Structure 1
Amino acid sequence: MPRTMSEKPQSAPWRNFYGRRKGHNLKPSQERYLAEDLAALAPGPVGWEVNPERRPLDLAALFGQRDVWLEIGFGGGEHLIHQALRNPDVGIIGAEPYINGVAMLLGKVRAAGCGNLRIHPGDARDLFDVLEAGSISRAFLLYPDPWPKARHHRRRFVTPEHLEPLARCLRPGAILRVATDIPDYVRQTLGEVPRAGFDWLAEGPQDWRLPWDDWVPTRYERKALREGRVPHYLTFRRR
């Protein structure tokens, strides 16, 4: 039974959401970006409150016949905007529930002028509900929330609750990239992601120690390096 928007905004009522949706007060320019630009860049009706019937997104209407990529939790949007500019022949959807990060990305979109991306300001699981099976050809999970306490590990993205619907959305042969600086997150990723239907593509240590050729450092990676943590770059292929 659907609930009202006020009970659980921007998320499905049958799901728990952990993490922040808003931080410090937005700058006036960021408030303006949200008011003027976000609606036009939304991928369409996604959240349960605007799409209670969970109608699939029409990716062909959004991007034509382009391959579609997905970034899960784009933070401040550095990597997302980099990939959109580097790959104009690809459509990219970014999902991010933290509204400050969404506002930051909107400012970058204005400056760059790229037209091949769409922004979902909410939980990526709501996107999984409305993406057709096999419709995504590449996905990125970059420096996700590590939830370091053991009792919170079930909140991590690399659990069946998230990985199984993600795997359904990815076409066979699709690439999933995961970057993290947390050793225990690496351990859990290498255990859970293959069980969800992926093969780890590493053949030697350099394959997880060195960033991808088209990588751009994010603010989270720069912070990790300043604090002495070691990034890991894990590449998987959907079976």
Structure 2
Amino acid sequence: MRDGHSDLMETLLPQLALDLSGPAPAELGRLFDVPVTRVHLESGFGGGEHLIAMALADPDLGLIGVEPFVNGMAKALAAIERHGLAGRIRLHNADSVPLLDWLPPASLDRLYLLYPDPWPKKRHWKRRFVDRANLDRIARVLRPGAEFRFASDWADYVDWTLARLLAHEAFRWTAATADDWRRPWDGWPGTRYEAKALREGRVPAYLRVERR
């Protein structure tokens, strides 16, 4: 990690990190230093490319980013400082599950899970983030009509995720044509994981489901 990034982990991260030891505010907009009209969460933001792009594209949007790995968090902190986004971003540098359990019901306008670890070996499938318990958690924190968006370059994990979403009574798949899952949604900035997948010949898929 660069020296500057290390300094941000010690100075900026404590300012932006969510404190889960107490109750969450009933209105998530209170987490931020400036007024926001909507709140999105990205679980496992990697290097932060998508998180930062969302913040830059919409000045009324509040964002919660989750990333347990130090290097990814440090890169995101550097971008947050560079673009002056600290007022509208809050961070959690650990697993998403405690955060999802902490958030109030029906408090998020969108949740992203982009290129999660696919755990490709069958004996590791139980470690995949998408399971019934976590979909229950996601459904609880999304407002009616809000979206859960998922992207992956592992066809098996895409099939796995879609099967569980279709079986869950809280979600409705909104796709009408094949292009609705073959092409990224509007405003997609791309990520380094996506670029690597394309270089290696894997084709990403982009799923969108609506909270009923």
TM-score by length of 1: 0.83
Stretches of 4+ aligned residues off by more than 6 angstroms: none
Alignment partner of 1:223 is 2:196: yes
Residue 137 of structure 1: which of 109, 115, 122 is its match? 109
Alignment partners' CA distance in 1, 2:60 and 2:74: 25
Q: How many equivalent pairs are there?
A: 207
Alignment partner of 1:28 is 2:14: no
Deviation at 1:65, TM superposition (A): 5.4
| Secondary structure, aligned partner of 1:94 | strand
Alignment partners' CA distance in 2, 1:189 and 1:81: 26
The residue that corresponds to 2:54 in the other structure is 83
Deviations along 1:210-230, whole A, 9 cap, x unmatched? 111110110000000000000
Q: Please, which runs of 5 or more residues in structure 2 have no aligned partner? A: none
Residue 153 of structure 2: which of 153, 158, 181 is its match? 181
Code of the aligned partner of 1:41:
L
The residue that corresponds to 1:61 in the other structure is 30
Q: RMSD in angstroms over aligned alpha carbons?
A: 1.3
The residue that corresponds to 2:41 in the other structure is 70
Residue 143 of structure 2: which of 162, 167, 171 is its match? 171
The residue that corresponds to 1:117 in the other structure is 89
The residue that corresponds to 1:3 in the other structure is none
Alignment partners' CA distance in 2, 1:111 and 1:175: 29
Does structure 2 retain, via aligned residues, the 8 Å contact 1:69–1:90?
yes
Does structure 1 retain, via aligned residues, the 8 Å contact 2:29–2:39?
no
Alignment partners' CA distance in 2, 1:194 and 1:132: 25
Alignment partners' CA distance in 2, 1:83 and 1:57: 23
Q: Please, which runs of 5 or more residues in structure 1 have no aligned partner? A: 1-25
Deviations along 1:182-202, whole A, 9 cap, x unmatched? 010111111112333211111
Deviations along 1:87-135, whole A, 9 cap, x unmatched? 1101110111111110110011111112311111111111112100000
Alignment partners' CA distance in 1, 2:47 and 2:211: 27
TM-score by length of 2: 0.93
Does structure 1 retain, via aligned residues, the 8 Å contact 2:36–2:62?
no
Code of the aligned partner of 2:200:
E
The residue that corresponds to 1:146 in the other structure is 118
| Secondary structure, aligned partner of 1:128 | helix
Alignment partners' CA distance in 1, 2:167 and 2:59: 33
Deviation at 1:161, TM superposition (A): 2.5
Code of the aligned partner of 2:173:
W
Alignment partner of 1:102 is 2:70: no
Q: Which one has the bigger helix percentage? A: 2
* Aligned residues with identical type, % of pairs: 48
Deviations along 1:42-79, whole A, 9 cap, x unmatched? 23x12xxxx1xx52245232244521110010000000
| Secondary structure, aligned partner of 1:158 | coil
